[in-house]
Amino acid sequence: MATESAAATPGVAVGPEPAGVLLIDKPAGITSHDVVAAVRRILHIRQVGHFGTLDPFATGVLPLSIGKATRLAQFYLKSRKAYRGTIRFGFATDTYDATGAAAAEPVECHPQARDVERVFAEFTGRIKQTPPPFSAKRVKGVRAYKLARRHEAVELEPVEVEIYALELLALDGPEAQFAVECSGGTYVRSLAHDVGRKLGCPAHLASLRRTAVAEFTESRAVTLADLERAAAEGATANVLIPLEALLPDCPALVVRGREEQDVRHGRSFELAQALRADRGLGPGMAGHAPAITLLKVMNGERRLIAIARRVAGNVYHPDLVLA
């Protein structure tokens, strides 16, 4: 994730720096970094990052962190993701997707739905997955895709990922439409390739659309054209998810006065001293505070000022303080 300091743009009025998450519906044919560059240009702000890339051929949900939200990316690195896509049976490719060259001559292959569903069931749960040769994984310090482009041998170690759900939506001849929910770090390209191998029928990922990342779903996503219109109308705030709405499963604690200053200065605090019915802590927390790993710390105006992590007992430390 790239971040840079905000910079003023000549001719553009300088106001409060926007902060939050922007959900872009990424089109096919451009990289995630292209999207970041476009958003920087539209919003006239340099501090833009992303919560995980999408391959150029893929479309869908690309959460971008704007302003201070870039500092919260660490809490989304392994987020659950959801996709819809199409597996094309009949030939595999060197990239495991439709952008690559065929690895062999095509063969006639029309698997039955029951066989595809059986194999899908075998890939559900915790599995070991080998990343594709054309990936950003490093081999002795070199990106795997650079070695693959030079036609050098690429040997990547399998990694453990989790497939929470894998469903066959439709089967039309050599093409299977599917939906998958998986852990961060899962390569859906590898999943398509491996499903084909398990069926004894070479396959590749023909299309892919990401429908969700953590709490961010495609229903909230906007196109780059939508963003340009919002920016031109001065309505950027309408498409930004505010900082306070992030990490919705994380309980919130409201602090005021000296307690707020202590948090802003990065001082640890004991939750038992701050926990009162009127302090903004979520329902059901009383008596269970020690089990809570993270807290969103808000000021009296209900603005997010820190993310605190439990260090021992009832003691929490502000891991991340937003100035």
Q: What is the mean pLDDT of residues 197-204?
A: 96
Q: Tell me which of 25, 34, 55, 97 is the catalytic residue.
A: 55
pLDDT: which is higher, 268 or 131: 268
For the chain, the distance separating the N- and C-terminal CA atoms, rounded to the nearest angstrom, is 21
pLDDT in tens, 27-57: 999 999 999 999 999 999 999 998 888 999 9
Half-sphere exposure of 233 (CA within 13 A, CB side): 11
| Closest-CA residue to 90 (of 80, 104, 78, 75) | 104
Confidence of residue 158 (pLDDT cuts 50, 70, 90): confident
DSSP symbols for 196-226: HHHHTS-EEEEEEEEEEETTEEGGG-B-HHH
d(CA 316, CA 233): 42
pLDDT: which is higher, 5 or 80: 80
d(CA 254, CA 303): 9
249 given a catalytic annotation: no
Domains parsed from the chain with CATH numbers: 20-79+216-244 (3.30.2350.10), 81-213 (3.30.2350.10), 250-321 (2.30.130.10)
- Specify whether the CB–CB gap between 254 and 57 falls below 8 A: no
d(CA 89, CA 168): 14
Q: ∠212-214-218 over CA atoms, to 5°? A: 25
d(CA 10, CA 228): 18
Helix (H) or strand (E) holding 178: strand 175-182
Pairing of strands 159-172, 20-26: unpaired
pLDDT in tens, 275-310: 543 345 555 554 444 468 899 999 999 999 999 999
Read off the pTM.
0.84
Structure tokens at 86: 């199409």
Task: Provide the residue type at 19 as one letter.
Answer: A
